[in-house]
Amino acid sequence: MGHYLEIAKRALELAERNQQVVTSEPTPLELPVADPYAERMRVVFRQVNPPDYPTGMIPWLGTVHSDLYAELTANLPDEIQQLWSERAPLEQFEAVLARLVSIHRWCCDLYRVQLTESSSGNR
C-alpha cells in the first residue's frame, strides 16, 4: 500500500507544480506541459477509489488471497513506478494501469460476494 501512497504523492506534487506554472503568467517559451503519466495515474486513482469502495477489502485480500494482495500492493505498484521513472512508452504504462484497475475491480467483486455470503449465512 505504501507504493500507492508514494505514487499518489508524486502525482499530487506534479499537479501542484503544474498548477503553479499555470497560475503564473508563462511566456510563450515557458508554456506548462502536463505529465501524461500523472494524468493517467489520476484517472486510475478515481477508478480504484469510488465512493462505494468496500471498506476492509485490502486486509481481507491479505488473509484470503495473498497472491492478489501482493499484486495490488506490491507487484503492480512497483511496475508502475518503474515504468513511470523510466518514462516507458505510454502504451506500456497504460496497459499496466488497465491491469491494476481490472484486478482491483475483480477483488472488489470477490469481497462484495464474500460480504453478501457472510451476511446471509449469519441469518
74-92 residue pLDDT tens: 999 999 999 999 999 999 9
What is the reported pLDDT for 84? 94
| Rounded distance between C-alpha atoms, residue 94 and residue 40, angstroms | 7
Most confident of 46-50, 52-56, 99-103: 99-103
- What are the sequence ranges of the domains in the chain? 2-121
Look at residue 52 in the predicted model and tell me its pLDDT.
85
* Position 39 pLDDT exceeds 80: yes
What's the confidence (pLDDT) of residue 114?
A: 94
- CA-wise closest residue to 61 among 105, 107, 8, 94: 107
Q: Is the pLDDT of residue 55 over 80?
A: yes
pLDDT at 58 over 60: yes
Residues 6+ apart with CB under 8 A from 78: 3
Residue 47 has pLDDT above 90, yes or no: yes
Q: Over 60: is that where the pLDDT of 23 sits?
A: no
Helices (H), 1-123: 2-23, 36-48, 57-64, 66-70, 76-85, 90-121
- The pLDDT of 65-78, averaged and rounded, is 96
5 to 12, 45, 110: CA distances (angstroms): 10, 11, 24
Mean pLDDT of the chain: 82
Burial of 69 (0-12, 13-18, 19+ CB in 10 A): buried
